[in-house]
Amino acid sequence: MNQLEFVKLHGNGNDFILIDELKGERIPTDEKSDAARLLCHRNFGIGGDGVLFLVPSEKADIGMRLFQPDGSEAEMCGNGIRCLAKHAWESGYVGESFSVETLAGVIPIQVRKDCNRFWARVEMGIPRFERSEIPAEGEGLFLRVPIHGFEVSAVNTGVPHAVIFVDDLDLPVEQIAPNIRHSPCFPDGANVNFVRLGNHLEVRTFERGVEAETLSCGTGSVAAAAVARRLGLVGDSIEVRTRGGPLRISFVGEKAFMEGPAVTVCRGVISDEMLQTLQ
């Protein structure tokens, strides 16, 4: 393997290692899971909530694959796709409007610079509430279902999300969430969002695949807004505040949009010593 360059980026503190494979594969597909486990480790690797691979696409302008710290591949990631969009735009691969192929479908994106800060507006599609599309056990909608002492609603915003409204976000999230994340109600598991309602939404998210709370989750923010809107608690536009920063979630008809920043942290080269463990 030749010298392997990477870019570290974050979207509201949800951080990713990006490997550009647009002009050729750098890590073979059957090695990507193991590479993600190693590179995401915050002591023995670079550290991150996932590894983004920028890849060619026959269906869109560019493609995205995301491998998580546990080695699993995620269908979609709202903060991750903004990071990928930033790199692609600044590298001259795309213009200000383009599309990205993900396992959750083709995602249209618009990007801009405002006061020297990068922003991306991502078309997140129509949130799916039917249990078969989340997926969740049973039939019909998954709204206000009692699970482990909480009233849980669920929706798919690219990946499955459980949403729980609480009065106080001072909760031991990493103790509570795993029981819901692994509930038999969710055959593929679910991300778990605890949400406090006010003039805006405040969200804490435990992410499937990371198996921990992250500072921000884009698809989780959309899920929180979509469930709140479905229950008649908010209107068509709402600010969602995560521990890593705010996102603006809006709806046009039933289609959801997410707008937020992305930041490039650093660029580097993975050492030969580390590369030997990837081979």
| Catalytic member of 83, 185, 217, 266 | 217
Three-class secondary structure of residue 177 per DSSP = helix
Query: Within a domain: residue 257?
Result: no
Kind of pairing between the strands at 97-102 and 62-67: parallel
Tell me if residue 83 is catalytic: no
In the chain, the number of structural domains is 2
Handedness of CA 200, 204, 208, 213 (dihedral sign): positive
Query: Within a domain: residue 66?
Result: yes
**Residue 232 shares a structural domain with residue 269:** no
State pTM to two decimals: 0.94
**Residue 163 shares a structural domain with residue 188:** yes
Which phi and psi (to 5°) does residue 181 adopt?
-55, -35
**Residue 20 shares a structural domain with residue 135:** no
Containing structural domain, residue 172: 128-252
Tell me if residue 185 is catalytic: no
pLDDT in tens, 67-96: 999 999 999 999 999 999 999 999 999 999
**Residue 241 shares a structural domain with residue 192:** yes
**Residue 34 shares a structural domain with residue 11:** yes
Query: Within a domain: residue 237?
Result: yes
Q: How far is CA 262 from the centre of its chain?
A: 13
**Residue 139 shares a structural domain with residue 232:** yes
pLDDT in tens, 134-193: 999 999 999 999 999 999 999 999 999 999 999 999 999 999 999 999 999 999 999 999
Q: What letter would DSSP give residue 1?
A: -
Are the C-beta atoms of residues 135 and 97 closer than 8 Å to each other? no
**Residue 93 shares a structural domain with residue 165:** no
**Residue 104 shares a structural domain with residue 192:** no
**Residue 232 shares a structural domain with residue 274:** no
